[in-house]
Structure 1
């Protein structure tokens, strides 16, 4: 009927206008989230798959042997790297099946053939698509690629990860891209593009790598909430056991998500691993096969019991790598720590005995290396392949019987005692111990449910009290702060003043607070504010960092790791991250640091509070639909959640003048005491930079009490302090300075002068450059973990290419370097590269595989 039809059209028009007005006037994020959820609903399969298929692996080729290994284990998710530079080298021209490591057509066919799901990490923008001066792509161009990708493989993509390791290696060689401010526009644009093309695809963040403990909160503070369905991170703790950091890190991620109303969204661990050889990996991080299995089991178990980590992907599954579960080539140089012959094996022997004891770092280590050998199979001893029909293990040894010598046309020879024995496992691929560890865990826990959730261990408790960081707002001048900083009374976050650090060299320039006591083995959370002058080079980062020390001042650990701020858009931006203190920590030093570029930064309002990471035992929710929290979600501004104004710790002295070279104490009033303090002894001076010399001395004593110390430089008093150490800053480079110290008491009595000590400041740092690029294989794409080395001032410096084949040799003085590129099984290549001051020279190299 016409009237009803016209009314319906009018109703639709008003409804549309209402939505538009709502978007224009509403500034409350929860309502925006609800509207966006209406436009882009959550994937219908998201809740269904969140706990029923938690296991996956990384691979670079996905051949049948790899897929069969996945089927045997029970893993259901493939993590596929989608290299944009290879797919669309020329804008608008797509190649979806380009050679090794980039044959997406083949990968999707394999997934369909074997019944697997794909999570695709779309990374590495081609040069034409990058933002000027950045490694990140232009948001609209990246969105176009994702739409083309989804259109190419409709209904076949389960999840898309927006770029890869953007807080660190993924953004090389442009260091400032590690700042989340450059990543967020790409993430937001990508999310809308994916959801408009296929709402069923799960969208995750870039894989956060190397404990970027402040990066996730940056995403929330600057408006990225609602632009991802899951938080994605990578975990590579070197050779360290996961009990030292894994549960602490995931508990922190969860705490941040709950703080911003995303407590029902899952966390994905899309890369984790340890290497048992140095093939494509760091030789300093090698662990034993047993340790690799134990560490894997810990991460799997704690992820399952967390209730919020819902996907785990081991790196790497199949190939020639120190981390692979299935090693492609049976090569003795990589398959280390295998059983050895107990006694020599004669040419006519029909049985042999192998020992399950091996040696690592000079100490015997025992494990049942033969536990997962098939009952009948093939061994390789030296170059002889030997068939066998039975195994018997007892007393730490395994007897292998029914030998068939000369299998595979190899020569029957004798073999010496302690020769390693390799089991060929009936295939061309060697399944390592960790393969069976993963398989056994999956088969024991094929799905994850709320009945398995438990309280997580190894999470350091919160400290009992906040750290009393004096003069944290810089309203008392330079008091208690040392190093290359001054007080600027024209800039302040909450008050009138702040600390100012000027970097004119591009090297590390920083100031610091005098060491303060800290509780060992506890969790803390530091907050502060930083502002970077936009008139600088644009490449300088400014961070508030911490160093934990033992009671004697020996460095133990520092932080944060891979969390950087390069741009504050001319205003104040919050720094925020947790840290945990080692069990032997006694003191803490807070640094205000600048690095990698020139410019000016201001710091203000720093606080360090206890951090409670205890999480009530959670129950996994059946749906990830966000539930608004009582606390309003911050608006997408870098300063949207200002801290309360910190109150500086009161001191018993009047406010000092804001001079960087003098902190005068009040004139003492004599009260009848005439005894002088003892002379300060053992004055030591050390030049730590081209502009600063640090002093320390043994304390004086006094019958009433020492009130402070006067510091004399070249016989002129330059400072008065109350501690027994001092940093004399703003000095000239390559200049010699002499110092002595006098003590005074509360009655004004002054000691004699201490011994005189001299030091010469260092020469000014030379502006440096860098060499960066990608290492390619002549036959198979990039060579991840290749070794790149050169001599720098007579000392060898080497780096390892990351998982994308990218490397960077940084902090190189201007010169021509002979750079060597090495990768096992390939011919070394040596190239002369000229480095200029403050520039990065790009050098991509292709290594030739040996025949």
Structure 2
């Protein structure tokens, strides 16, 4: 009877508190935006190694109108001895994060590496010890950078054959290791708890999954996510990042690389094109809980570009720019992917920077109308609307640089201006006027280079209606974000209160138990 009274007095009230928090938890699910956020720059392979490089890269990114940048935070170089942190040992991260924040560029910090001071030749670090040091490192990173970082990506290529090597074998980060969704889930949950406790509105992303055709794929990305969900890691993340590997293939074609044997499974492994590849991941994410999928590390290697450049008269840099544009338009138009990171150096890759600048201006806060042509045949056409205007992206998928006549139909515009997507700018000086006939048709010449056609939708009344509709949608999204932030703050406060109550109940239970044991013994 005394035990019953004790439970009623100390334990059951916590159940009522937990029940009261269900509304907050359910309401705090992240909202999804129907608008495009644009292009981000992925600096994982071309990070700034000096203070001068920080300024030049961030200046280029800012000038291009880019809102997101992704960069590595390598634990191995930061903490070479226990509890001693040099945040700018390998890269000038202090300057980078503060400068990006000042420019209103959102930084995605990719957490990699491990405690090198615990590394021994050929032996993995004990997972329990790794977990303890990991929590200390995350706490130190969040405490040091505070408001400068809003997005934390946990790990890099985590389903690859070296995805966990940087954590377990920090002295040899490229060593082969079997992907371990259970260990990864533990690290993901621990990091998310610490990050959200400091700022509940910071985002935590699952580290970039590689495709089944990647040479280093160690586990099918769909299988990996299913096992992360089974290990209770899914709810610790806000989004999934994915790095597609196309090999020497255009985005509209099947990957030129065969499926890695290590990634074979009963799940889909041979998608027809880039859009289908990403769609399978989006569908699984929707079934598991509706988290957004972002594309990171979009790139073609020099070897792949040279293979695709055969029988073309354009420069390699132009081909690279074209492929990045085509892939991004396919993903944004077909898959409603809001954010795609290009793995480029914004200072030296001129054509890619020009295309990135134009896409940012044309598509930021735009809405996809969808794919008009391309389900069959060699013509790809996607349409977007923004601020009372229409943006049409079109290209062919064969015949290289040889132009062929293409018909654009159902055009609700009296005229269009055509630009190369890597045009120096979008002024009329660099555009070509396209006449639209009275039936809404226009005959144009296209080759494999993507072209964007810009025009106004309908008459003035239709344009004003569209402007009002677009602005209303922006207000709705901003209002929803404000509500989400408030709910996240309430959720964090509730969790802290619940933890205090549990600790009190635990202490009371220990005291009560000790008292009863003492009574029995005496």
Q: TM-score range by the shorter chain?
A: 0.5 to 0.7
Residue by residue, what CA displacement relative to the aligned partner does 1:394-421 show, whole Å, maximum 9, x if unpaired? xxxxxxxxxxxxxxxxxxxxxxxxxxxx
Matches within 5 A, 1:12-23: 15-19=13-17
**Structure with more relative contact order (C-alpha pairs < 8 Å, separation 6 or more):** 2
Gaps of 5+ in 1: 1-9, 23-30, 319-325, 328-430, 460-618, 626-851
Q: For the residues of structure 2 that align with 1:283 and 1:452, how far apart are their CA atoms?
A: 34
CA separation of 1:33 and 1:86: change in aligned 2, threshold 3 A: farther
The equivalent position to 1:310 in structure 2, one of 338, 349, 372, is 338
Deviation at 1:150, TM superposition (A): 1.4
Which residue of 2 is the match for residue 350 of structure 1? none
Alignment of 1:670-685 (within 5 A): none
More strand by share: 1
Other structure's SS at 1:164 match: coil
Look up the SS of the partner of 1:118 in the other structure: strand
**How many pairs does the alignment contain?**
325
Q: How far has the Cα of 1:165 moved from its partner?
A: 0.9
**Partner residue of 1:66 out of 57, 67, 88:** 57
Match of 1:53 among 33, 37, 43: 37
| Length-normalised TM-score, structure 1 | 0.35
Between structure 1 and structure 2, the one with the greater Rg is: 1
Q: Identify the residue that residue 437 of structure 1 maps to in structure 2.
A: 355
- Unmatched 5+ stretches in structure 2: 1-7, 166-173, 213-219, 255-272, 311-315, 377-472, 485-522
Query: Counterpart in 1 of 2:92?
Result: 103
Q: Alpha-carbon deviations, 1:360-391, whole Å to 9, x = none?
A: xxxxxxxxxxxxxxxxxxxxxxxxxxxxxxxx
Q: Residue 224 in 1 paired to residue 233 in 2?
A: yes
When residues 227 and 68 of structure 1 are mapped into structure 2, their CA distance, relative to the original with a 3 A threshold, is: same
Who is 1:206 aligned against? Answer: 207
Matched, 1:124 2:125: no
Q: Deviations over 1:151-205 (max 9, x none)?
A: 1122221100001112114334453342323312111221112111211111100
Residue among 319, 322, 334 paired with 1:294: 322
- Relative distance call for 1:17 and 1:218 in structure 2 (3 A) is closer
The question of whether the paired residues in 2 share the 8 Å contact of 1:166 and 1:207 is answered with yes
- The structure-2 alpha-carbon separation of the partners of 1:98 and 1:37, relative to structure 1 and needing over 3 Å to count, comes to farther
Residue 134 to residue 90, structure 1, CA distance change in 2 (3 Å): closer
1:209–1:234 contact (8 Å) kept in structure 2? yes
Aligned counterpart in structure 2 of residue 80 of structure 1, from 30, 46, 71: 71
Whole-Å Cα distance in 2 between the matches of residues 241 and 307 of structure 1?
17
Mapping of 1:832-843 within 5 angstroms?
Answer: none
SS at match of 1:154: helix
**Residues 285, 151 of structure 1: alpha-carbon distance in 2 compared, 3 angstrom cutoff:** farther
After the TM superposition, which residues 419-818 of structure 1 pair with which residues of structure 2 at under 5 Å, given as runs? 431-449=349-367, 451-453=368-370
Q: Does 1:270 align with 2:268?
A: no
CA–CA separation in structure 1 for the residues paired with 2:175 and 2:23: 37
Aligned to 1:160, the other structure's residue is in SS state strand
SS at match of 1:170: coil
Q: How far apart, CA to CA, are the structure 1 residues paired with 2:55 and 2:246?
A: 31
Shift of 1:209: 1.3
Tell me the CA shift for residue 455 of structure 1.
8.6
Contact residue 135 and residue 171 of structure 1 kept, 8 A: no
Matched residue, 2:186:
185
2:135 is aligned with 1:143: yes
Distance 1:118 1:219 in 2: 25
| 8 A Cα contact 1:273 1:296, kept in partner | yes
Give yes or no for contact 1:129–1:141 (8 Å, CA) kept in 2.
no
Cα contact 1:76–1:117 (8 A) shared by 2: yes
CA-CA distance at 1:83 after TM superposition: 0.5
What corresponds to 1:133 in structure 2?
124
Displacement of 1:305 in angstroms is 1.9
- Report if the CA contact (8 A) 1:135-1:174 is conserved: no
Report the CA distance between 1:259 and its aligned residue: 2.0
Q: What is the CA-CA distance between 1:239 and the residue it aligns to?
A: 2.0
CA 1:160–1:195 in 2, change beyond 3 Å: closer, same or farther? same
Following superposition, the deviation at residue 127 of structure 1 comes to: 2.9
> 1:719 maps to what in 2?
none
| Conserved? CA contact 1:56–1:76, under 8 Å | yes
Shift of residue 446 of structure 1? 2.0
CA distance in 1, matches of 2:201, 2:374: 35
- 1:56, 1:79 within 8 Å by CA — same for their partners in 2? yes
Instruction: Encode CA deviations 1:644-696: one digit per residue, 9 max, x unaligned.
Output: xxxxxxxxxxxxxxxxxxxxxxxxxxxxxxxxxxxxxxxxxxxxxxxxxxxxx
Give the corresponding residue for 2:397.
Answer: none
SS in structure 1 opposite 2:182? helix
Q: Decide whether aligned partners of structure 1 residues 309 and 142 sit closer, same or farther in structure 2, where only a CA change above 3 A counts.
A: farther
Matched residue SS, 2:209? coil
The 8 Å contact of residues 152 and 204 in structure 2, kept in 1 or not, is answered as: yes
**Secondary structure of the corresponding residue to residue 208 of structure 2:** coil
Q: CA deviation at 1:317?
A: 2.1
The TM-score normalised by the length of structure 2 is 0.54
Q: How far apart are residue 434 of structure 1 and its match?
A: 2.1
Distance 1:453 1:140 in 2: 48
Give 1:220 deviation, angstroms. Answer: 2.2
**What root-mean-square deviation, in Å, do the aligned CA atoms of Structure 1 and Structure 2 show?**
3.8
| Residue in structure 2 matching 1:155, options 133, 147, 152 | 147
Q: What per-residue deviation string (whole Å, max 9, x for no partner) do you get for residues 38-91 of structure 1?
A: 8xx567xx767x846332102201522212221222111111210101111111
Asked whether the equivalents of residues 111 and 153 of structure 2 are also in contact (C-alpha less than 8 Å), the reply is: yes
- What is the alpha-carbon distance in structure 2 between the residues aligned to residue 456 and residue 37 of structure 1? 40
How far, CA to CA, are the matches of 2:139 and 2:248 in structure 1?
Answer: 40
Q: Contact conserved, 2:40 with 2:70, CA < 8 A, in 1?
A: yes
- State the distance in 2 between where 1:72 and 1:218 align: 42
In 2, Cα distance between the equivalents of 1:455 and 1:178?
Answer: 40
Residue 284 of structure 2: aligned partner: 256
The SS at the match of 1:258 is helix
Q: Which residue in the other structure is 1:171 paired with? A: 164
Equivalent pair of 1:97/1:105 in contact (CA under 8 Å): yes
Kindly provide the CA deviation profile for residues 579-630 of structure 1, in whole angstroms up to 9, marking residues without a partner as x: xxxxxxxxxxxxxxxxxxxxxxxxxxxxxxxxxxxxxxxx9995698xxxxx
